[in-house]
Amino acid sequence: MGRSYFGTDGVRGLTNTGALTPDMVMKLGQAAGAKFLRGDHRHRVVIGKDTRLSGYMFESALIAGFTSVGMDVVMVGPLPTPAVALLTRSMRADLGVMISASHNPFHDNGIKFFGPDGFKLSDDDEDEIEALLTADPQLARPEEIGRARKIEDARGRYIHDAKMTFPEHLRLDGLNVVLDCAHGASYTVAPSALWELGADLTTIGVSPDGFNINANVGSTSPRLMQEMVKDTGADIGIALDGDADRLIISDEKGRIVDGDQLMARITKSWADTGRLKGGGLVATVMSNLGLERFLEGEKLKLERTKVGDRYVVEAMRAKGYNVGGEQSGHLIMSDYATTGDGLIAALQILACLVESGKPASEVLNLFEPLPQILKNVRYDGGQPLEQESVQAQIAAAEKRLGNSGRVLIRKSGTEPLIRVMAEGDDPALVESLVDDICDAVSKAA
């Protein structure tokens, strides 16, 4: 069976369509439960969610699926994705599930799975779950049906663990922070953690109603956060996404600091203090060439992977790195977490700010990004990238850029789009080359 349901980050789509109906989500629970029923112990799955209205529906469907095959369920309520990963491992669960579509609008939702080690499942694991969807579930005998219960201290556990990653000798006293929680999963835990460490907070996006998650707030819509930083004279702004596994920063001038700059700052800080492992960091093919050049100047390496924080984590584990992430703001520090964690990443950035005593604009802008242009071309089927005309146009662009830039063409993992990206020292040339490739793809499609 092919990958009909799983994309680059679990199963995601429009609620009540395709794989995101209650019936299919129940079957996903049964299939995942069947795969992870190993040994003769009482099996346990941890289920968390963000603040979407449909989260309650899918939570119930998953509970029905898992308990019907004999797994006990522990519900932790609205919590960030990294908190679910943490609790899965710390509670010795066999499986963890996060119900979230991350930065997508409320009408989408998704299902992300974590193994007993707290890491996202591999492609092979997801393929096995997909294959089990076509088989009849092995339903438990009546006396072996699983039980479901909710724990009340999940938020406190995560807040405590997040705060423990902040240097013990530092405090946030006197630091003015604008915090945007996207009306999402971090709406209680992130403000609590920062306030308890001493920060003076102005909060945005902390009143979820089931429909407003990511609506003109959060890491993909940071304008309100930027304006609030300038209006209040804050030292820094932090915008998390709907499930709080990534962040975007604003400096004190209201200017965005993306994931590439944040990775550069953490990597250099950890290298300077002897904490860095692997001699560099892991990032995806989307990270700016300016980051790569900066790291070379610091005698550090950049290991690139395909797009998806799961692939970043896999490379980090395989090659011994402890810092990685994506330009979009997924930052992974494996000393502390098994997946991207926006709150923990923010605490590392705040630690750098406090220790330096300098403005965020000086601390967090370590290199000049190369002009980078990304455009999408929608297609209705076929293999446009295999057409000779498209390949010729890509080759011509690569030749013109030479060592002064690069071209990246890839299919989206979630939509019928071809993503065309180029970057280089000459912005006019970069834009022209991207337009030429887009034209060739459009004609081929």
Torsion of CA 135, 140, 142, 147, to 10 degrees: -120
Supply the DSSP string of 57-99, one letter for each residue: HHHHHHHHHHHHTT-EEEEEEE--HHHHHHHHHHTT-SEEEEE
SS3 392: helix
Token pair belonging to 72 = 């006990």
| Helix %, strand %, coil % of the chain (to 5) | 40, 20, 40
Residue 102: active-site member: yes
Residue of 102, 186, 250, 269 marked active site: 102
Residue 375's beta-bridge partner residues? 420
Residues 6+ apart with CB under 8 A from 272: none
Alpha helix (H) residue ranges in 164-232: 189-196, 223-232
C-beta separation of 165 from 224 below 8 A: no
Q: Cα(15)–Cα(198) distance, rounded to whole angstroms?
A: 40
Residues marked active site are found at 102
